């Protein structure tokens, strides 16, 4: 009889624990929308640039601290700036998208660099990417390969 009572007491505790885990997971879901993700194909090169638009529809800033792709040995966020008429590219450790704001990754600006491509990319191919956020959450998305001449 004691075993039955102990078991019945654990069921509400287990249900509460499961509910708390589900609520925590929902609270961590980023309110970030990714639009128009694409990759510029660069024939004969083992690097490629990824462009996209990020929209934070939430009430808290969202900070991207990393990026990964299965088609590259290394991926990172870069920014190109024109200084004294010369384009200079530098890595960015993080990008924060403020609540209600949009951040565009576009040619001659912010972009994701894929280094050490592990396969040849073809126009029309869908390439998987993972954005990593400062709170430990990640977002899976895909980018479509476009021709070198496309802006």
Burial class (CB in 10 A: 0-12, 13-18, 19+), 124: exposed
pLDDT of residue 17: 47
Whether residues 72 and 133 fall in one domain: yes
Long-range CB contacts for residues 4-10, cutoff 8 Å, separation at least 24: none
Whether residues 76 and 94 fall in one domain: yes
Bin 136: left if φ > 0, else alpha if -120 < ψ < 50, else beta: left
Whether residues 74 and 105 fall in one domain: yes
In a domain, 151, yes or no: no
**Which pLDDT band holds residue 20 (cuts at 50, 70, 90)?**
low
pLDDT digits (tens, 9 = 90+) for 73-122: 999 999 988 888 888 889 999 999 999 999 999 998 999 999 999 999 99
Burial class (CB in 10 A: 0-12, 13-18, 19+), 54: buried
Q: Which pTM value belongs to this model?
A: 0.78
Cα separation, 119 vs 121, in Å, equals 6
Whether residues 96 and 133 fall in one domain: yes
Q: What percentage of the chain reaches a pLDDT higher than 70?
A: 79
Whether residues 88 and 78 fall in one domain: yes
How confident is the model over 123-142, as a mean pLDDT?
Answer: 96
In a domain, 53, yes or no: yes
89 Cα distance to chain centroid: 20
| Residue 128 confidence (pLDDT) above 70 | yes
Domain extent, residue 78, equals: 32-146
Q: What percentage of the chain reaches a pLDDT higher than 90?
A: 66
**Helices and strands per DSSP (H, E), number in the chain:** 1, 10
Whether residues 76 and 20 fall in one domain: no
pLDDT of residue 76: 96
How many structural domains comprise the chain? 2
């Amino acid at each position: 009889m004691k075993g039955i009572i102990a078991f019945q007491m654990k069921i509400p505790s287990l249900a509460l624990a499961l509910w708390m885990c589900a609520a925590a997971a929902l609270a961590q879901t980023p309110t970030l929308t990714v639009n128009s993700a694409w990759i510029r194909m660069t024939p004969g090169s083992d690097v490629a640039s990824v462009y996209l638009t990020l929209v934070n529809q939430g009430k808290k800033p969202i900070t991207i601290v990393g990026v990964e792709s299965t088609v590259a040995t290394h991926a990172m966020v870069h920014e190109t700036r024109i200084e004294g008429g010369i384009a200079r590219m530098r890595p960015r450790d993080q990008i924060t998208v403020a609540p209600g704001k949009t951040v565009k990754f576009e040619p001659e600006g912010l972009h994701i660099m894929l280094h050490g491509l592990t396969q040849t990319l073809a126009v029309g191919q869908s390439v998987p990417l993972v954005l990593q956020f400062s709170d430990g959450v990640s977002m899976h998305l895909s980018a479509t390969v476009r021709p070198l001449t496309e802006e």
